[in-house]
Structure 1
Amino acid sequence: MAYTQLEPINEGVLARLTDCLLCRKSCRSCLLWCWECIYCPTSDEEVEILGPFPAQTPSWLVDECVDEVINPAVQQADAMPIPQDTISNRRRSSSEMSRSTFSLVRQLSSLDARRPSSPLVDLKPIEFWAMGPRKEVIQPLRRPQTPPDDYFRKLEPRLYPLDSSRDDVDLLTDDEILLRYQLGMLHFSTQYDLINGHLGVRVIEARDLAPPLACDSSRQDMAHSNPYVKMSLLPDHKNSRQTGVKRKTQNPVFEERFTFDLPFLEAQRRTLLLSVVDFDKFSRHCVIGKVALRLNEVDLVKGGHWWKALVPSSQNEVELGELLLSLNYLPSAGRLNVDIIRAKQLLQTDMCQGSDPFVKVQLVTGLKLVKTKKTSCMKGTIDPFYNESFSFRVPNEDLNEVSLVFTVYGHNMKSSNDFVGRIVIGQFSTGPPETSHWRRLLTSQRTPVEQWHSLRSRAECDRVSPASLEVT
């Protein structure tokens, strides 16, 4: 009797051990309810569920499935004894039911065990395309290729000539400039007077100036220069000044003082330009060299002395000067009014006292000299102010045949007046600026028209204007 009672118990223990050995580890309820979980390979009819599942299998799904299968068996076992055949049959039926019931649980558990800590992302190249069926291919970035070793050897040197005149002389010392150009040195001083409001410039001396051959090859027979210093404030050459001419020397001593009336703030924005010029009474003056001093780089109030090496000038010859004129024609009165306002930067004609300039204006109709008038003489200056007006009678029908000849002379008491420069405005103008001024006069009658004009040499005026040949 005892053996018959222990037999079903042994069979139950062996069944449990067999089920534990054959059970998957992925099933979380196997160790507790192995007699209810019978291992069986997954059938082909089961569908694999894919997608982003939560980190753990929902507890309600597992608990609900377990309660439906296990709780009825436990309740019946507690109520009354069940025959062995009934238990085995029930176990088969429950096993078949659990196979289908826990199929989803096993799939979820196996996926949960294999699920990584972070969602899987399919790493593929991202493609951008426009709104349309046709995709736009994005080209990858390309690294710049390094040039070959012979790349710079292919440059043609003749296309990139070196110009010594364009060298940055600011990077050179005075000794290097003097060694390179050998034009000499200039000694001068600057100081600003705050009480009187003017800039004082003192030109002291020059040393080892270049001979006349360095700037004019036509003066090979002259061993010495006749130097003088011409100074102005850039950029508009305001209030130019110049020293007297020192005869036949390469080491002149000037010892002259000059003042420029301008506010202190304006003086700091200026550049002092000093040009050493070789005087020649019978030809155009030649520039030996120049020095430029930026006034914002020095202490103007304290002042200072400077020895500066001369550098070549962009223009080898001194300009003859400029003349400011105003023209106005009154057709009702038949009068042509001419205002000679001022001149600046005139060529110096006197070696001792500078220049005493005056302007002669002559009316030429066709090729005939009709009238001559002249301004007063300004003593000892190269920037004279005239503000003098002249009127010529010109009928309206003769206006297109009229030429005005303006000639600047330097007064000389010992000999004839020294020629400085000339321009012609009218029918036989000496250049485009003069022609433009005359056209503005014809189109805007009864209105004064002002314009600056650069003076020209006598030979140039005679070559381009027949009216210049009719005057003296």
Structure 2
Amino acid sequence: MREQTSSSFQVVLPLSNTLKYSLLVLAVALFLIALLILIWKLHQYYKYNTAVKVKETRYLSERYNEKKPCGTILVKSLAPSFLDIARKEQDSKIQLMQKEMERLEEHLTPSPPRTESLDDVISESDPLHGSKGKLKFSLLYDKKKAIIYINVIEAVELPVHSRDPFVKIKVLCSVDKPKSELHSILHEWETRVGRNNRDPVFNDEFSCSLKEYHLHNISLKFEVKKFDKYSRHSLIGETRMALKDLKASETLAFCEELHGKTKDAIGEVLVSLKCLPTSQKIEVGVLKFKTASQTVIQDSDVYARIDVFSDQHKQKHQKSSLRAKSKVTVFNETFLFSLPDPMKTHCLILISLYESFANGKKLIGQASLRNQKTKSNYGHWELMMESLRQPVAMWHPLFI
């Protein structure tokens, strides 16, 4: 009875062996077709991926820098737009620094006239073209008393930017020696400031005694400057007047055109240079300062400031210690500055001498030298490169 019950639940499919094998072959065939389709799709994907990578590689090779060596550092490629911006900024910085150094060299080399002190050069923009205006003044020389009387009357037709002008007067005496271009400053004065006026009227009078000097060695220098309470006074223009042709006991009035600033050598500074190729540094030594002043030396201190401009940047300046001012002031101090390649690096060294007072400082003069061949170098840089690791000293004129 149990056997009949269990056998009644069995399902028997009446399929022949031929049909079973046919279904098996069909299943294998479908599997093979699916496998072929999968392989074909994989081949297409691989081919497409390879083409995309080739295009990307070409694009990157054209627009990117894959790896750029800079010293010992490998800089990865950046986006093209960022690279363009960075290159433009770098080029602009290089051009600005080169223009600044060229302007400094133009102002501080002893060739043609037209120069400024470092303070004036840095603070001023590009020099103005056209007329700088005129200055009216009168002179009277009392031959018996050997006194010169100066009256600064007014300035007229100053440039548009010349607000708050004033006049600085210097009495210069040339050193009476053969082949000497040195000058000493005997006296200095300043007029009052003409507030908000391009045609200021001064009518300021000054006088000084010239008993100890020959009149043919004396000249007057009038500098018209723009007053700036919070920054440096910038130069508008200047004019000069030699006193050798001045008639005695007769007041003469003048109206002179203003020109670019001229420079005067007022002394010399003994500078030493030493190249240290292993440490990639240069040693600048300020040894002595010699003034051409013929007046009595006042009780004051002087110090030297050294500025180094190399290629794209200005290095941090260094200062000497204070020294008592005399006709020959001895410093004997050296200063180190970084200079990787002295022959290829565009370098400008500026040495400024300042006189220190309780209420401020005053520029005495400046000397400049660089590794390009100019008249101001006198072969100093070349001598340094011929004597590596050995200091080479040479006198350089100080200009004001």
* TM-score strictly above 0.5: no
Larger Rg computed on CA atoms: 1
TM-score (norm 1): 0.38
Higher share of residues assigned helix: 1
Using CA pairs under 8 Å that are at least 6 residues apart, name the structure with larger relative contact order, 1 or 2: 2
